[in-house]
Amino acid sequence: MPQSLFEILYFLIALVIAISVHEFAHAFVAYKLGDPTAKYHGRLTLNPLAHLDPLGTLMIFIAHFGWGKPVPVNPYHFKNPVKDSALVSLAGPMSNFLVAFLFALPLKYFSGYFPVEVLIILWAIVDLNILLGIFNLLPFPPLDGSKIFAVFIPAARQNAYFNFLQKAQPYFFVFILVDIFFLPRILGFSLLWIVLGNLFDFIKTIIFLGS
């Protein structure tokens, strides 16, 4: 997490870009698949004011995890509700990886031409987009990964699966809080950050190899 005033400013710039692109991607893919709900709610935009959640942003500084405003989606507008909902969910993390890749290009090939401040912002954008993409792919409600995982559930069990997601959502938040605040004090490490850290290193390596 950022410490100085300038680090906080760079972090906020990266955060605004990451969340705005992520939520816009959800809205855009949903609209293309036939659901205009997000457009009617003013979410088919890259304007960060439409996507930032004040509490979710504050929680990033307090608990090291947060969220944007969920994009409203009505799966009944889709031809294939489960598959199309999974595509809408997948669009968010994939858009973050794409942003990380695009901003990795100048870091890899033109870093010697930029002042330090610009390099810090570019690194912040790359790192935060990778983290946001990975975090949202975790198969826990209400994260995108839980809806993506639904395509692997047999049709006869999908209603039970979605009911389970609704009931399990509060327990996931409890797990996050316990893992971040208490496990490091008891065990000296966070299970979540071990998983995220390893995946982060893996994805970052792929992005820079491909750029």
pLDDT in tens, 170-194: 998 888 888 888 888 888 888 988 9
Domain extent, residue 158, equals 5-210
| pLDDT at site 63 | 64
Give the contacts of 20 (CB within 8 A, at least 6 positions apart).
46, 47, 48, 51, 52, 68
Residue 79, SS3 per DSSP: coil
Contact 143, 137 (CB under 8 A): yes
| pLDDT at site 3 | 58
| pLDDT at site 31 | 98
* Torsion from C-alpha of 192, 197, 198, 203, nearest 10 degrees: 120
| pLDDT at site 173 | 84
- What confidence tens digit (pLDDT) does each residue in 7-18 have? 788 888 999 999
Contact 18, 128 (CB under 8 A): yes
Q: Which residues are catalytic?
A: 23
User: Confidence band (pLDDT; 50, 70, 90) for 42?
Assistant: very high
Average pLDDT for residues 65-76, to the nearest whole number? 87
Q: Give the count of domains, the chain.
A: 1
| pLDDT at site 10 | 87
| pLDDT at site 65 | 66
First to last CA, the chain: 26
pTM of the model: 0.91
Mean pLDDT of the chain: 91
Average pLDDT for residues 116-140, to the nearest whole number? 94
